[in-house]
Amino acid sequence: MRTNKMLHAMKVSELQEHFITELMTILPEWKFVKSQRLFKKKHGDLIWYLYISCINHDSDFDAVGNVAVEYLSGKERICIVGAELGNIEGCGQTRFPVSSLNEAIDSAHALFKFFEEIGLPFLTKYSQPKEVVSVLRSGGKSAMLISPLINQHETQIKNLCQKYGIGM
């Protein structure tokens, strides 16, 4: 009996494929970049990202959602800020378990709902360059959440101020 169950178990890679495919149907207006396992959506000189991390186990995986806003000047990146959805909410890393086809579909919808509730407001808020500059200038936990490399904060502030005419 155990052998029969193992023969019908899906590979982790197949579960991931079903999970991503379900997300693609939920996010039709977002472009999926398979090589980077991310969804992106362009907004003028900004790109919004929803990146999916997979924490693999022997026969299943946990999915984690991360969001980011990238500011561009032409094709050059001038700033990128982002965070993991659970950390944005303040509850720590939030994982969506996938061990079967049904769970792949259910977890994709659960992650999407969490993205709508937590990720989209983050993307909207940090699509305002003045907001990013204000948070980075203030420092502390909020600045570290959106940009954990503190040595880049001054450059990010300078680049955003120059591009958007924000007072230094």
First to last CA, the chain: 70
Write down the pLDDT at residue 8: 53
This prediction's pTM: 0.92
Q: What is the DSSP letter of 35?
A: G
Cα(104)–Cα(16) distance, rounded to whole angstroms?
A: 7
Write down the pLDDT at residue 1: 41
Cα(139)–Cα(96) distance, rounded to whole angstroms?
A: 31
What stretches in the chain show pLDDT beneath 70? 1-9, 168
